[in-house]
Amino acid sequence: MALLEVDEVAAGYVEGIDILAGISLRVEAGSVTGIIGPNGAGKSTLLKTIFGFLHPRRGRVVHDGREIQRSAPHEVKRLGVSYVPQGANVFPQLTVQENLLLGAWVERRDRARVARMLERAYETFPRLREKRRHRATSLSGGEAKMLSLAKELVTDPKLLLVDEPSAGLAPRVSHEVYARLVEARARGVTILLVDQNITKAVEVSDYLYVIEGGQVRRQGPQADFADHLRELIRDSLLGA
């Protein structure tokens, strides 16, 4: 059953220029769905549109049977959708704990639940417990990325939108980030992953879409892509 359906969506930042040009895709519940493609294909724009930062000019975005293409980000968040943008999406002047509390914002009225959420986040990311009273500005790039992911996973989202989780990270840290994503999938979190790291995207995804020019060029289960990694990487680099 599809948790998310994107149906013929067209969207863009400037009037008359569509970055997404009638794109359609489905994300099955409990799966990791990978989106790969060259720079400028519209991958990040797709996530921003799903999360409500951009409202599509046409088409529908359906989450759990409910149309959300006109919803604001905080409304989409309340439906159980979380979004990890590119880079370290943390608040540098707030402490690690305050960042995580912000992650649990939608549950703020249930203090006991918030405390349990924080405890689980610290169990999953032990390094963050050590630094919970430190300002986020003192974290390394890898730690900041962990915090960015932790504050989204803390609420146990139904659907997690992740944009370029390994961008700018050392291979060891990047490996840990993907391990946390795989763990989240095992707990039942559905993941829509946009990635330039094609090898990793193919490794962790159950189903993949290749997009280019705001449209789906190719799609299929992981097995269809695993044998053609070299071609995929070449096409992605050349934008072909």
| 188 φ, ψ (degrees, to nearest 5) | 105, 5
Evaluate whether 61 touches 79 at the Cβ level (below 8 Å): no
Interface with another protein includes 98 (CB under 8 A)?
yes
Evaluate whether 208 touches 33 at the Cβ level (below 8 Å): yes
Interface with another protein includes 103 (CB under 8 A)?
yes
Q: Which stretch binds another protein (CB under 8 A): 32-40, 94-102, 182-190, 195-203?
A: 94-102
Interface residue with another protein among 26, 59, 86, 105 (CB under 8 A) is 105
Secondary structure class of 56 (helix, strand, coil): coil
CB of 215 to another protein, least distance (A): 26
Evaluate whether 51 touches 59 at the Cβ level (below 8 Å): no
CB of 112 to another protein, least distance (A): 16
Non-local CB neighbours of 160 within 8 Å, separated by 6+ positions: 81, 82, 83, 84, 152, 153, 181, 184, 189, 190, 191, 192
CB of 95 to another protein, least distance (A): 9
Q: Which stretch binds another protein (CB under 8 A): 14-22, 77-85, 178-186, 219-227?
A: 77-85
CB of 77 to another protein, least distance (A): 3
Evaluate whether 45 touches 11 at the Cβ level (below 8 Å): yes
Non-local CB neighbours of 146 within 8 Å, separated by 6+ positions: 125, 127, 128, 176, 177, 180
Interface residue with another protein among 131, 145, 151, 200 (CB under 8 A) is 151
Non-local CB neighbours of 187 within 8 Å, separated by 6+ positions: 156
Sites for another protein among residues 56-75 (CB under 8 A): 72-74
Query: In terms of CB distance, is 152 or 235 closer to another protein?
Result: 152
Non-local CB neighbours of 115 within 8 Å, separated by 6+ positions: none
Which residue in this structure is represented by tokens 């914002």? 105
CB of 223 to another protein, least distance (A): 33
Interface with another protein includes 86 (CB under 8 A)?
no
Interface with another protein includes 115 (CB under 8 A)?
no
Interface residue with another protein among 90, 96, 184, 194 (CB under 8 A) is 90
* Secondary structure of 163-206 in HEC code, one letter for each residue: ECCCCCCCHHHHHHHHHHHHHHHHCCCEEEEECCCHHHHHHHCC
What x-and-dash track marks residues 194-223 binding another protein by CB under 8 A? ------------------------------
Size of the site for another protein (CB under 8 A): 27
Interface with another protein includes 51 (CB under 8 A)?
yes
Report the interface residues with another protein, using CB under 8 A.
Answer: 51, 53, 72-74, 77-78, 82-85, 89-94, 98, 101-103, 105-106, 108, 151-152, 155
